[in-house]
Amino acid sequence: MYTDASKGNEGVGIAIALENTNITFKLPNECSIFSAEAIAILKAIETIQTTKHTKFVILSDSLSAIKNIQNKNNPNDISVFIQNQLDEAKTNKKQISIIWIPGHTGIAGNEIADKYAKLAASNKNTTKLNISSYDDFKKAVKTQIRKKWHLLWNDQDTKLNQIKRTTFSWENHKFNRKEETTINRLRIGHSRLTHGYLMSKEEPPTCEGCGTPLTIKHILTECQLYQQERINFNITEILDSLLGPDPAQNRKILNFLKSINLIEQI
């Protein structure tokens, strides 16, 4: 028996090539090629269990899948199923060997399995198996959660949303703790200077220079009191650039705040 798997834009398919017939299945799109190769071996063993013959060789070009099946200490869930099937086969007096062969080297049975695995992946009428590994399922769930989170994020109108347009994480640039805290407060638009009144139950602060409500955006990009300092540090009016993931831009903002003596009030 030759087994193979294929994963592409049209889906995931597996094939088992026997002497006189070929068995194919279509797997869930989230199934990895590693899992698909293992599932192909699993289905081959299940097929063996239904025959009267007692000696079989399963040939696969997936060395990683075979090694995981042989791993008794830390196999994945598909490999555990395979190990259990092999034990059951042994109980039923069936001898099964799983052997690695190099792929795409002209081995006839492997080429046939490869061909039918590709056809299974692209053919919507192929028999479907709702099988995938726990890791594949977990990854798919995380992907869907992230997509939903991204949609919800785009619908929000917050100060942080105006700075960070996506939900993907930003790299930590190894600023010291105070600098990281300052940058994060600037990003969410909340600081002791602009929002300390909430704790003291005072009136919201206004700018000493122009009397407008005091906000992070006003301090960084609008207030004329600090126009010369903005020029000195090449501070633009684009907040998502200044407070985005670029450490050079973040450093400019920190230096700007130090120069106008507001860094300790953020």
State residue 161's pLDDT score: 76
Other CB atoms within 10 A of residue 232 CB = 13
Tell me the C-alpha distance between 217 and 169, whole Å.
Answer: 23
State residue 120's pLDDT score: 97
The dihedral through the CA atoms of 78, 83, 84, 85 has a sign that is: positive
Q: Which of 198, 233, 240 is nearest to 216 (CA)?
A: 240
State residue 237's pLDDT score: 78
pLDDT in tens, the chain (266 residues): 999 999 999 999 999 999 889 999 999 999 999 999 999 999 999 999 999 899 999 999 999 999 999 998 888 999 999 999 999 999 999 999 999 999 989 999 999 999 999 999 999 999 999 999 999 999 999 999 988 988 888 787 777 777 787 777 887 778 899 999 999 999 988 899 999 888 888 899 998 888 899 999 999 999 999 999 999 999 887 888 888 889 999 999 999 999 999 999 99
Report CA dihedral (31, 34, 40, 42) to the nearest 10 degrees.
-100
194: Cβ contacts below 8 Å, ≥ 6 apart:
205, 214, 215, 216, 219
188: Cβ contacts below 8 Å, ≥ 6 apart:
158, 159, 160
State residue 45's pLDDT score: 96
Q: Which of 98, 122, 109 is nearest to 27 (CA)?
A: 122
Domains of the chain (ranges, CATH numbers): 2-137 (3.30.420.10), 160-265 (no CATH)
* Cβ atoms 26, 125 nearer than 8 A: no
Classified as helix, coil or strand, 206 is strand
State residue 72's pLDDT score: 86
Joined together, the tokens standing for residue 203 give 């009136």
